[in-house]
Structure 1
Amino acid sequence: MSASNGYRIAVVGATGQVGGVLLDELGVARDDDARDALAAVREARDGVAPAGEGLPISEIVPFASARSAGRTLRGLTVQPLTDETIQGFDLAVFSAGGATSREWAPKFARAGAVVVDNSSAWRMHDDVPLVVSEVNPEALDEHRGIVANPNCSTMQLMVALRPLQQEAGIERLVVSTYQAVSGTGKVAVDELLEESRAVLDGTPVPAPRSYAHQIAFNVLPHAGSFVDDHTDEEHKLINETRKILGDQTIRVSATCVRVPVINGHSETANVETREPLSPERARELLEAAPGVLVRDDPAGGVYPLAIDADGRPEVLVGRIRRDPGNDRALDLFVVGDNLRKGAATNTIQLAKVLHERGLVRPTAPDAVPTLG
């Protein structure tokens, strides 16, 4: 279908937490019974337009598991994934987990759609661009039907680091994340709230379901699953940073931590540049960078906060200062909404960039990437 008539868009994983935000960003109104605390906060924000505003759309079709097929979601009928139902789409945005993406992303691409996938399945595939809309949109030019969205923690960091890299290069990064429970899913949000009520009420705390330990009033040096002495979240941050910034020589040390925050990931980043870069110049670069809001007046109590990032499409950066132990290193504090810029917002921003660059087009079936 041509852009002049509007794109037919599939939302795969539409009933999930990120799937709901994908529908938000495509401008699909929420049902009254679909509202939740996070949605209420987002809707209260003024001046934050859906990321999909300006994207020509003829139809949006939600997809989910077979058990959800046939239900009505925001006035739309949820479809199951079958070889018949996936035909005739121009774009498919995925937030349904790696197994679903591995199986169905190539099928959608071979059927003529361009897929933007949120899972980790395709990120490190040589033939799949890994893209942040403000950082490396030119990577989309070489897509073969599938585009990968970075991990949420990597995503917000790249928005902050790209202008510094362009100015002075990056030699080494030391990053610690403070990741909200919404990154694990709604069940983890519910768990944090249940545990918190129990602690405050003085009643027994339920056994943890989402994490190895109680998350309420606690900090876990453990985000993701351990694959060696690092977690998969830490490996993603290391490997995806190098791919997105196009420099495999950048040395990255990462520690990913889970904190009792509902939504909004925070990060400290120690950035050692190849060339000298002053905090003042870094602040100027970040103030001019797309997708960045600088919040940097510590004496006045102004710095990035998770509750301020919640519902916003931008990445907040502050505490910009010299590392006193390294005259070529700066320290930053970076915060972003992990459900929006960290996932759904960038997905829809990439769909818009694909449209603007004339890249929403079928891929030859034998050119579509495969795994295994």
Structure 2
Amino acid sequence: MTNPIKIVVFRNGDLHHKGTRIIIKPHIHEMQQLYEVINKECPLVVGACRRLLTIDGEQVSEIQDLIDGNRYFALGGEQLNLNKMPYVLQQKDKQDYADDLIFPEFYQDEIEYMPIFSTPKRPLKMFGVQTEKAKVIFVFRNGDIYDKGARITLKSSVTSMEKLYKLVTSECQLVTGSCRKLVTPTGDIINSLQEFEDYSNLIACAGEPLNLTRLPIILRKKIKKEKPEQEEEQSPIEQQRPSSNSPTPKRPLKMFGVQTEKAKVIFVFRNGDIYDKGTRITLKASVTTMQKLYLLVSNECKLVTGSCRKLVTPQGKSINSLQEFEDYSNLIACAGEPLNLTRLPIVLRKKN
């Protein structure tokens, strides 16, 4: 070989490859030397170049078999993939092929001999990116009222519910364990990927049941907005409401709740401490038992004799239930010792 040979090499299975121009100089006598040049100029994804095939699939064994201006496929250890023929070689219009090549001036004479390939249509995968858009869902943690939800895209790689559970576990970071089921706010369990609706709200649960009492606040607002629309679809009989003159039933008030009744306040003094000025304690809704109140008093008043075990009025009456408390009343906290009236706090002596 006296003159250099110019060829175009395509990577096997690369749809978007437009070809790489390779110049075979006279000092290249063996195929191994040519493979090294191809590895530098047109690096393969699967590894080093080991074979060179013509467009028709025939293997080139000698340098002398190469034809100036021809096109070849570079392969490693894999087979020739005709299903992923580069788009440049798939053009039905041969003139367009010559215009798209990197060095079209070398192939004008070869265009009429260029073979034409047709690409078979691939079947669509679930939630694939070919013609349909991947679905999006918003997942909330079960029992977390402040959770704002995690946006999860059902890509084509999510082919089973188990893979989706792993994705939800990593994105939502459930406290109760790995995700085992996805439930709608109405309580319906999702069992297959086909049941998902685009931009739907779901609740992720581990082994525990759905907690409707601690539904996320965002979902509560959305459900309230949907209720008026549902009422419009009801029959005229169901839409009838009581007149404005009819009395509205009152909801039962919780003990020391925050609906219409103000939380009670008491002032607690240490037993036997004449200089104690008292500690203001609010009986919030979270204080539901006397034991919780004793624990709160022990933390706030810091009794010297131990933990609080009873609350007594300055007159010596013991308080045994939360219903007996009066707003802004004065009480004395005792541990195991009896009430010491001789060392009553000075503030209480003045009031009495």
More contact order relative to length (CA 8 Å, sep ≥ 6): 1
| TM-score normalised by the chain length of structure 2 | 0.18
Task: Looking at secondary structure, tell me which structure has more helix per residue.
Answer: 1
Greater Rg by CA: 2
